[in-house]
Amino acid sequence: MRKLATAGLALSAIAMWAASRLTWLEVSVFDDKSGDAHHQLVGAVWSTETTAVALLLLAAVVAMLALRRLGRRIVAAIAALAAAAASWQPLQLLLYGADPLRTKELLTSGAASQQQNKPVTVTEWAQITDISVSAAGPVLTLVGCAVGLLAGIVLVMKPGEDSVRKSKYELKQAREEKLADELNEDPDSPRLMWDALDADVDPTANRRDF
């Protein structure tokens, strides 16, 4: 279950990252000097948290492989909350459409291009004549959020068991027992004698003596 849920977090991150690259809005603008113009806003511009949450979920996947039980549970809870929070913007967009004022702010600031050397600029006096929502991006984001939320909840409830870590004493004892068995089988082996001395084991002693 833990591996399946961890894979769910990874799929959620991939879905959200891909959705942030898709076009979410098609915007038509009229400027009395330059005329009509059409611009696109991708998910990473309209919902900046989508990319951030995708990266957070990828980090959570790595944490699931590295942390112990309590750490996995905490990270899973954070991932679930982040996935739930990331669903707000796409859900609002699908239910109520885009806010014209915010859309214009993004276009006039040049954020729409995501390129500092090639900003898409709309003049302050330009008028937005039409905004259409491309549903694919927001829907894919919501799917990714749902998968991430579900996977996070599963990992909180079932973070898996920690592997047993042997102490240095247990490892040393196991090594001594193995050397003793090998010396009983081949007591004249030079290699085994050196290994025994290296492990502070008397190669001439009988196995039952330690």
176 shares its domain with 80: no
Do the domain assignments include residue 84?
yes
Given 3-state DSSP classes, what are the helix, strand and coil percentages for the chain, each rounded to the nearest 5?
65, 10, 25
112 in the same domain as 205: no
Asked if the structure places residue 192 within a domain, the reply is: yes
Strand positions, DSSP E, the chain? 23-31, 35-42, 127-133
Please state, in angstroms and rounded to a whole number, the distance separating the CA atoms of residues 41 and 10. 26
Domain for residue 44, yes or no?
A: yes
Q: Is residue 163 part of a domain?
A: no
pLDDT at 207: 46
pLDDT of residue 118: 57
162 assigned to some structural domain: no
27 found inside a domain: yes
Same domain (yes/no): 77, 180: no
pLDDT in tens, the chain (210 residues): 888 999 999 999 999 999 999 999 999 988 877 788 888 899 999 999 999 999 999 999 999 988 888 899 999 999 999 999 999 999 999 999 999 999 888 888 766 665 555 556 677 788 888 999 999 999 999 999 999 999 999 999 988 776 655 445 556 666 667 767 776 777 767 776 666 666 666 666 654 444
Best CA proximity match to 100, nearest among 61, 121, 130: 130
Q: What is the DSSP letter of 113?
A: G
In a shared domain, residues 11 and 109: yes
Domain shared by 134 and 194, yes or no = no
Pair 52, 111 in one domain: yes
Residues 131 and 187 in one domain: no
Does any domain span residue 76?
A: yes
Alpha carbon distance 86, 53 (integer Å) = 7
Cα separation, 161 vs 94, in Å, equals 41
Q: Is residue 107 domain-resident?
A: yes
Instruction: Residue 36: name the closest of 102, 104, 128 by CA.
Output: 128
Same domain, 139 and 41: yes
Are 106 and 49 members of one domain?
yes
Q: Are residues 93 and 45 in the same domain?
A: yes
Do 90 and 178 reside in the same domain of the chain? Answer: no
Q: Domain range for residue 199?
A: 168-209
Total domain count, the chain? 2
Q: 138 with 178, same domain?
A: no
